[in-house]
Amino acid sequence: MLEYIVNSLRAILISCKIVIYRQKIPRQMEPSFHGDLRILLLPDLPAVCRHAECGSAKELNNIERGRRFHMARREHFVQIYDLHTHTTMSDGHVSIDDLVAWEHGMGHQLGVSDHVFYEGIFTERDIAAYLEVLRRYPVYRGIEANMEHHFALPDSLDTQIDYVIASIHNMPDGRGGMIPMDSFFKKRSGNMPGYTKNYSSDLNRWYLAHSLRLIEKALANERIDILGHITLMPCCDELYGTKFLLDWENAVLNLCRRHCVALEISGLWRLPNMEMLRRAKEMGILFSMGSDCHEAKDVGVLDYCKLAVDTIGLSEEDFFVPARALY
Ligand SMILES: [Zn+2]
Ligand SMILES: [Zn+2]
C-alpha cells in the first residue's frame, strides 16, 4: 500500500515536471506536440525512465546543462551514451583524459571500447593493463573485437568488461581468406585520397553470404553484446536498394533478435540505414549509440544516432545499457 502511494506521488511529481518543461518549448515546435498530446496521458510514462536520478532535481539540472537529448514529439528525454570510442591505447589519436573530459562536457555517458587482439592491444596482459587504466575513470569498460577472430577471454578479464562490441574489419573472401577493409574505412571517412580498390564488385553477393555465416557463427560462440557498424562493407554500399541486401539485412536482424544482441547506430559511419533501423525497432531489437571516434573531430559526434531517435521514435528503453552503475 505504502509503495502504491509513493509510486502515485512520484508519477504526479514527474507529470508536473513534464508540464513545467513543456512551457519551455520554442513556439515553432508546437505543431508537432498537438498531434501527440495523448502521450502525456499515458500512465506508464514514468516507467520509461530507468535512471535513478529521473524525476529528481538532479535530472532537471542535467537538462538545463544540455545533458539530455530532448525528443520534442515524445515529450521525453533520452540519455546519450557514447559506447564506441577509441583512445591512444589502441589506434585512436585521443588520450583517455581528453576523451573523458570532452564526452562528459557534452553530457554523454561514456564507454571506452578500444580494439583488442588488434591495433596495439594484442595480448591478454595488454587487455589487463588496458582495463586497469579504465578503472581510474568513471567510464564503462568495453572492448571492440574483430568478429573474424576468436576473442573469448578468461573469466578474470571477462568479468571486468561491461560490454563487447564485435565488428567486421576484414571481409571474408569465400575462399578461407580475408579482404582487409582498412583503406575502404579511410576512404569512407574521408581520410584517404590515394585509395586502391582491393575487392571485386562482381563478388558482392558472395562476400555478403560469407559475412552472414561469419556473423552467425560469432553470435553463437562468442560473448557479443553489441554488433558494431554491421553494414560497413563496400558490398553493402554497392548493393543498397537491392532485394538481396534487404534479405541480408533482415537475416542479420533475425540473428540479433535470436541472440539478444544490440544493433549499433554509428555516428561516424551513419549506419545502418534508417529503414533497417526501423525494422529493427519493429522486431524489438535493442540499439546502442557509438561515435566510433578515432580522431578529436569525431569525439561525441552522434548526430546520426539522434536523427534515428527522432525519426524512428526511440526511447531510453530501446537502448542497451551496461548493467554496472557508473556512479
Ligand atoms: Zn570497428
Ligand atoms: Zn571502432
Residue 175 sits in a domain whose CATH number is 3.20.20.140
Q: How far is the CA of 107 from the centre of ligand 1 (A)?
A: 24
State which residues form the domain around 233. Answer: 81-318
Is 235 among the domain residues?
yes
Does 275 fall in a domain? yes
pLDDT at residue 8 in the model: 60
* Same domain (yes/no): 142, 30: no
**Residue 327 maps to a domain:** no
What pLDDT, on a 0 to 100 scale, did the predictor assign at position 225? 98
pLDDT, tens digit (0-9, with 9 covering 90-100), for 122-144: 999 999 999 999 999 999 999 99
Q: Give me the mean pLDDT over the 213-220 stretch.
A: 96
Question: Of 49, 79, 109, at which residue does a domain stop?
Answer: 79
Is pLDDT larger for residue 2 or for residue 267? 267
Is there a single domain that holds both residue 55 and residue 153?
no
For residues 134 and 280, membership in a common domain is answered with yes
Sorting pLDDT into bands at 50, 70 and 90, what band is 36?
very low
- How far, in Å, from the CA of 297 to the mean position of ligand 1? 17
Please indicate, yes or no, whether residues 172 and 240 belong to a single structural domain of this protein: yes
Question: Measured between alpha carbons, how far is 320 from 225 in angstroms, rounded to an integer?
Answer: 9
Q: Do 132 and 60 lie in a common domain?
A: no
Residue 261 Cα to ligand 2 middle (Å): 17
Whether 162 and 213 map to the same domain: the answer is: yes
| pLDDT bucket at 3, cuts 50 / 70 / 90 | low
What is residue 174's predicted lDDT score, i.e. its pLDDT? 84
Q: Looking at the chain, which runs of residues are DSSP E strands?
A: 68-71, 76-79, 81-82, 109-115, 140-146, 163-167, 170-172, 178-180, 226-227, 262-266, 287-290
In a domain, 133, yes or no: yes
Half-sphere exposure of 186 (CA within 13 A, CB side): 11
Residues 307 and 193 in one domain: yes
Coil, helix or strand at residue 265: strand
pLDDT of residue 175: 87
Is residue 324 included in any domain, yes or no?
Answer: no
- Whether 60 shows a pLDDT value over 50: the answer reads no
Ligand nearest to the CA of 114: 2
> Structural domain tally of the chain?
2
Ligand 1 midpoint to CA 323 (Å): 23
Distance from residue 145's CA to the centre of ligand 1 (Å): 8
pTM for this prediction: 0.78
Q: Mark which of 79, 95, 114 sits at the end of a domain.
A: 79
Banded pLDDT at 301 (limits 50, 70, 90):
very high
Shared domain for 194 and 131, answered yes or no, is yes
Same domain, yes or no, for 69 and 159? no
Number of H helices, E strands in the chain: 12, 11
3-state helix, strand, coil in the chain (%, to 5): 45, 15, 40
Task: Tell me the C-alpha distance between 166 and 222, whole Å.
Answer: 9
The pLDDT, as a whole number, for residue 326 is 87
Local confidence band at 257 (pLDDT 50, 70, 90 cut-offs): very high
Same domain, residue pair 59 and 85: no
Query: In this structure, is residue 216 part of a structural domain?
Result: yes
Mean of per-residue pLDDT scores for the chain: 82
Is there a single domain that holds both residue 126 and residue 167? Answer: yes
Report which bound ligand comes closest to the CA of 82.
2
Specify whether 117 is located in the same domain as 203.
yes
Q: Among the three residues 63, 79, 95, which one is the final residue of a domain in this structure?
A: 79
pLDDT at 74: 45
Residue 185 lies in a domain: yes
Where is average pLDDT lowest: 102-106, 112-116, 119-123, 140-144? 119-123
Output the pLDDT for position 9. Answer: 56
Tens digits of residue pLDDT in 188-216: 887 767 788 999 999 999 999 999 999 99
